[in-house]
Amino acid sequence: MIYTCTLNPSVDYIVKVDDIRLGELNRATETAVFPGGKGINVSRVLKRLGMDSVALGFVGGFTGAFIEQALAQENIKFDFVKVPETTRINIKLKSGKETEINGQGSTIAPSLANELMKKIQALHQGDTLVLAGSVPESLPSDFYRTIVHTAKAANVNVVVDTSGPALKQLIEAKPFLIKPNHKELGELFDTVLHAKADAVLYGRRLVELGVENVIVSLAGDGAFLFTKEVTLFAEAPKGVVRNSVGAGDSMVAGFLAAYTSGKPIEEAFAYSVATGSATAFSDDLCTKAKADELLQHVKVTRL
């Protein structure tokens, strides 16, 4: 079974305004509300691709109830820990340039953190655990590391999709998959990447450090996959970018959906790129039909 873990979920409130004027009354032309958080996005895309998963994490209040109701409507299983505070609301303001305003995460008491850890300890050999998104400030800064070591002790495949210090401290745990973008890859090595050759250099270095699979997203310029056996580059399909939220999460879901179904690594990587692009070209997360359509336009080459 695939489990996704979102420590800091949200309700994403999408607001479109034709021409926003600060300090004045503005009226939205469109609004939408979705369950948010990177792990939850992975679960939602997996379901659309025909794969089951169980969403873990912390939810609370009326917004937490909304997340559970929305996932239930999509037939997605969840096993959240309930917290007293209301799950945050993130505002995605679309008016020319896209602006995001993220709410503060809930305060997680140690007893509730222990409750989540018990769920992690119950995972079985062969399961996959996706750790995605930020760590609430109320949790220890090394909380992800604790989860990873607990999961790996049970021979669970761990996927990490986060950034900054949280990602850097998990490299030594040798996760099954990480998916930094080019900026995040540079941050792991305290540098700035200026060319694709830089991404190849540092992507391969992560494999040397023990990460089994590394996907590096270059947005519209494609993506790399690094393993011990092979380095692959995929050209991204062409299209109009309509949505920057969830494209990376969709890449993780696409890779896992194909890989856990027994597809070869090259096909899993190609599907990852197609799925991420399908979300980028959509108003919401991708559909399977859109991902399958774009897969025909993903060209993968060995380096």
Tokens representing 186 are 């540079």
Tokens representing 39 are 């792990």
Q: Report the pLDDT averaged over residues 264-286.
A: 93
Per-residue pLDDT at 243 exceeds 90: no
Residues 6+ apart with CB under 8 A from 25: none
Q: How many helices (H) and strands (E) does the chain have?
A: 10, 15
145: buried, middle or exposed (CB in 10 Å: 19+, 13-18, 0-12)? Answer: middle
Which residue in 193, 198, 157, 177 sits closest to 248, CA to CA?
177
pLDDT at residue 85, as a whole number: 94
pLDDT in tens, 175-199: 999 999 999 999 999 999 888 899 9
pLDDT at residue 80, as a whole number: 98
Residue 97's pLDDT band (boundaries 50, 70, 90)? confident
Q: Report the pLDDT averaged over residues 49-62.
A: 97
Q: Report the pLDDT averaged over residues 106-133.
A: 95
Q: Does the active-site annotation cover 221?
A: no
Residues 6+ apart with CB under 8 A from 68: 59, 78, 80
Per-residue pLDDT at 209 exceeds 80: yes
* Paired residues of 226 in beta bridges: 214, 231
Per-residue pLDDT at 264 exceeds 80: yes
> What is the residue-averaged pLDDT of the chain?
93
Higher-scoring residue by pLDDT: 166, 215? 215
Residue 108's pLDDT band (boundaries 50, 70, 90)? very high
Q: Which of 249, 283, 284, 292 is catalytic?
A: 249
Q: Is the entire prediction scored with pTM above 0.75?
A: yes
Helix (H, G, I), strand (E, B) or coil at 133: coil
Per-residue pLDDT at 112 exceeds 80: yes
pLDDT at residue 134, as a whole number: 87
pLDDT at residue 239, as a whole number: 87
Identify the top-confidence range among 162-171, 210-219, 238-247.
210-219
**What CA–CA distance (Å, rounded) separates 214 from 204?**
8
